Amino acid sequence: MNEVINLLNNRISLANSYISTLSEEDLQAKSNPEVWSKKEILGHLIDSAQSNIRRMVVGQYQENAHIIYHQNEWVKAADYQNYDSKDLLGFWVLLNKHFCQILSNLPLENYKTITNWGSATTPMLKDDLVTLEFVANDYVRHLDHHLRQIGVTI
């Protein structure tokens, strides 16, 4: 997990530096009403961090924990477009530091613990069952994808 923690700390620094320079207009801009703004993408990353933190914690004491995330509903419910931008960025930074803390405390024997991140509305598939180690590594991949959408150079 040390590699994941190092990557996350790097992303925290890069994203915080870049996003804090953007104007409110840049953060709220949308190419069309159906796509997320940079603020909404950052909000989605907050929701993703919360969901994955829960997976990492619950997965340590409950095998096959089923923790799902409906991204559009969460982003809509939080109304990230109207969230204070500094608070939003600060919240994202703190959640990712917290995620690093949890990863640093994850016992080696729990890396291979299985969790279920499949949809609640579809039958369970083989790909819905993943290890906590996979969740941590996939979190960085997912994070990088969305940070690039915001304009962060990785």
* Separation CA 134–CA 59 (nearest Å): 12
pLDDT for 82: 97
Q: Note the Cα 42 to chain centre separation in Å.
A: 9
Look at the alpha carbons of 148, 22, 100, 60 in this order and tell me if their dihedral is positive or negative: negative
Q: Write down the pLDDT at residue 45.
A: 98
pLDDT means over runs of 10, the chain (154 residues): 98 98 98 96 98 95 88 96 98 98 97 84 66 96 98 97
Q: Which pLDDT score is estimated for 122? A: 56
Q: Cβ neighbours of residue 106 under 8 Å, at least 6 residues apart?
A: 1, 56, 60, 132, 136
